[in-house]
């Protein structure tokens, strides 16, 4: 089932905080591309939470460069990024890798120097895989999410079952 394997992330973890960032460094990764909704904070939040800030300061202390890569079509994600003090790509069009490429361009990084972290297989993981970045799936921050994301979860479970992740 190649189609399912193509959607398999390199790593699955429970949360951003539980990622072994030293191990990422050892792989030569210096740039972390982050989804926001249900990855770094609650779905459709208008501002970062303490959790978001903690993740960013941990990564910053470890010397990683960061960029939000968000599909949000409003100023919401760029406002959040500004509050977190990191750059942002909006209208990223994930699963299309174009937004990830824009982020890599901006960060002057090659795909092998970056990892994409997100909570959705059909957007974050596919975009990460297609762009050639190391790709990490996190379990969603909260079960509360907008209907069109919720609607995709049963299909995600099918993919995860067949691709075993």
Binding site for Mg ion (CB under 5 A): 35, 37-39, 119
CB 128 within 8 A of CB 116: yes
Q: Which one, 2 or 124, has the nearer CB to Mg ion? A: 124
Q: Which one, 110 or 150, has the nearer CB to Mg ion? A: 150
Minimum CB–partner distance for residue 29 and Mg ion (Å): 20
Minimum CB–partner distance for residue 127 and Mg ion (Å): 11
Minimum CB–partner distance for residue 128 and Mg ion (Å): 12
Q: Which one, 18 or 22, has the nearer CB to Mg ion? A: 18
Q: Which one, 37 or 65, has the nearer CB to Mg ion? A: 37
Closest CB to Mg ion belongs to which residue? Answer: 37
Minimum CB–partner distance for residue 70 and Mg ion (Å): 8
Which two structure tokens, joined as six digits, stand for 52? 């978001």
């Amino acid at each position: 089932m190649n189609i399912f394997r193509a959607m398999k992330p390199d790593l699955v973890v429970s949360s951003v905080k539980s990622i072994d960032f030293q191990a990422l460094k050892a792989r030569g990764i210096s740039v972390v591309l982050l989804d926001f909704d249900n990855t770094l904070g609650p779905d459709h939040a208008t501002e970062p939470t303490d959790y978001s800030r903690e993740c960013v300061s941990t990564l910053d202390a470890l010397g990683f460069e960061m960029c939000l890569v968000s599909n949000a079509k409003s100023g919401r994600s760029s406002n959040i990024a500004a509050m977190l003090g990191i750059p942002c790509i909006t209208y990223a069009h994930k699963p299309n890798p174009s937004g990830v490429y824009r982020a890599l361009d901006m960060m002057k990084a090659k795909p092998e120097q970056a990892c994409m972290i997100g909570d959705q297989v059909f957007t974050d993981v596919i975009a990460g895989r297609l762009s050639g970045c190391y790709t990490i799936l996190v379990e969603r921050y909260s079960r509360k999410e907008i209907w069109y994301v919720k609607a995709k979860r049963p299909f995600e479970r099918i993919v995860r079952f067949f691709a075993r992740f």
